[in-house]
Amino acid sequence: MLKMDQVHVLRHKVLKEGQSIRRVARELGLSRNTVAKYLDQPEPIRSFRQPRERPVWEAVKPRLEKLVAEWEPRTTGKQRITAMRLHRQLRAEGHRVGRTLVGDYWRERRRQRAEVYVPLINRPGEAQIDFFEVVVEVGGERRKAWEFLMRLMYSGREFAWLYERCDQLAFLDGHVRAFAHLGGVAKRCVYDNLAAAVRKIVGARRELTGRFLALVSHYLFESDFARIGDDKGGVESRGKAIRLEHLTPIPRGDSLEAISRQLLGDLDATFAARHDAGRSSSELWEEERAQLLPVPATSFEVRKPIPVEIGSRAMARIEGAWYSVPSRWARLSATAYLGVDDVRITCMGESVTHPRARFGTRQVRYRHYLPELSRKPHAVRQVAPELSAELGAPWSGLWGTVMRNARRTGSGARASAPARRGLRTRRRSRAPGAGSGHQPASYRGTGSRGGRTADRERRGS
């Protein structure tokens, strides 16, 4: 079939210039029948022929369809059926069939089964939420992080924050931060079936997690769950774009919070300069902000309460990590409040807060063991560098004196007596009603005599 410009040229040459059909056909390299046809037909029209017989296809079609039905349950997204693999199998079975025939069948089958997408209309107050994996450099160390992204689809206003883990705490904390930053709560939030929100799917019904239900009840928004990537393409495409536009090259910072604040500032600046269909982003945002729900006066508590048992080593295991507590809490029950960045453990009306540790690691503060260290000379020597670093000056200088005298006397127990006496003094000073600061006991004497003097003083005390 000719194009419209070719039809125009040949009709002009024959009907306006008076050239013969034979001459025009020779000049344009066309058949005389083609030139004659378009003299009566002012524009090209597609004509359809009657389908011809296909004996090879009719013979191989039943086996090809049966082969596809047998193989489909044994495939994955990456190990999928291809036309070349089907053609090779048919030829191995003795069928005389060409690769083009099998390729045309497979291409048409995929076209018929391909999903058709519906153009959606985004109303003010609707948000889409998802997590995206990114790479950042914190303190000179390159590591993986997770980007929480909430996008208001009507105006395009976005909130993003980086987290070390993609867990429920980060999911809840992202909502709290997003609603506080936006100054309002989205009426409807769209998610895929992430484990932080959906505990189990039974048919068409979803059982939501208790913490997510508490979040919904606190902010009173509507939660809606879509298929992965299909019904919330806005946040999916925007999350990939943020990685390319704002997180490339790999961002550097002293902490994830510093990188997150820089990212959020970049997103706000980009949004302020954006225009959509002749309307500025500020106009769309003002229209959408009026439709947001008010943020509750009381903040949602993100921390997750976990009952724990404190062992004989005065340590509690929380989410696979170990944390030390004061030794007087040993063998008691306590409650841990697990946050995004830290862990708060409460017992006996007191609380201890640790930075959140990775799975399989531990956070130990040896000041929790001062009563035991004051009675165990060998333990003092084992943990003295860490303990003196925690206590600071002048304890670090005292430990250097202890080690020098230990080498002179040959007795670590005698040499560490002043340090242990100082620990008992510090422990008493930290008791309720005691003073806030005590200097370590002075180390009197040197050599064996100094060690014996210290030992007598220790026994006398």
Using one digit for the tens of pLDDT, what is the confidence trace for 200-245? 988 778 999 999 999 999 999 999 998 755 678 889 999 999 999 9
- Average pLDDT, integer, range 437-448: 39
pLDDT of residue 440: 40
- Measure the CA–CA gap between 461 and 451, rounded to whole angstroms: 15
Q: Tell the residue number behind the tokens 């009603």, with chain if given.
A: 433
Which pLDDT does position 428 carry in this prediction? 58
Which of 50, 82, 48, 46 has its CA nearest to residue 67?
A: 82
Give the number of residues written for the chain.
461
pLDDT band at 378 (very low <50, low <70, confident <90, very high): confident
Task: Residues 126-289: name the CATH superfamily.
Answer: Ribonuclease H-like superfamily/Ribonuclease H (3.30.420.10)
Q: Which two tokens stand for residue 254?
A: 């002293």
pLDDT at 415: 53
What's 250's DSSP letter?
P
Residues forming beta bridges with residue 145, ordered by sequence position: 134
pLDDT computed for residue 82 by the predictor? 95
pLDDT-wise least confident of 48-57, 273-282, 420-429: 420-429
Q: Is residue 296 over pLDDT 70?
A: yes
DSSP string across 79-114: S---HHHHHHHHHHTT----HHHHHHHHHHHHHHHS
Whether the bond into 394 is cis, omega within 30 of 0: yes
Full-model pTM: 0.72
Q: Which residue type does 228 have?
A: I
Read off the pLDDT of each residue in 309-323 and give the average, rounded to a whole number.
95
| Region of 8 on the Ramachandran plot (φ > 0 left; ψ -120 to 50 alpha; else beta) | alpha
Q: Are the C-beta atoms of residues 247 and 240 closer than 8 Å to each other?
A: no
Are the C-beta atoms of 230 and 224 separated by less than 8 Å?
no
Comparing CA positions, the residue from 275, 357, 276, 278 lying closest to residue 316 is 357
Q: What per-residue confidence (pLDDT) applies to 403?
A: 59
264: closest CA among 147, 120, 184, 388?
147
Average pLDDT for 376-384: 79
d(CA 155, CA 230): 21
226, 232 in Cβ contact below 8 A? yes
Judged by average pLDDT, the poorest of 34-38, 114-118, 217-221 is 114-118
pLDDT(257) > 70: yes
pLDDT of residue 445: 38
- Percent of the chain at pLDDT exceeding 90: 65
Looking at residue 436, its pLDDT comes to: 38
> Where are any strands of DSSP class E within 42-170?
126-138, 141-152, 158-163
Give the residue extent of every domain in the chain: 4-40, 126-289, 304-364, 369-460
Give the percent of the chain with pLDDT over 70: 84
Residues 140-196 have pLDDT tens digits of 999 999 999 999 999 999 999 999 999 999 999 999 999 999 999 999 999 988 999
pLDDT band per the 50, 70, 90 thresholds, residue 47: confident
- Least trusted range by pLDDT, from 88-92, 132-136, 203-207: 203-207
Q: Return the structure tokens found at 8.
A: 């125009």
Q: Which residue has the higher pLDDT, 317 or 45?
A: 317
Confidence of residue 418 (pLDDT cuts 50, 70, 90): low
pLDDT, residue 420, reads 57
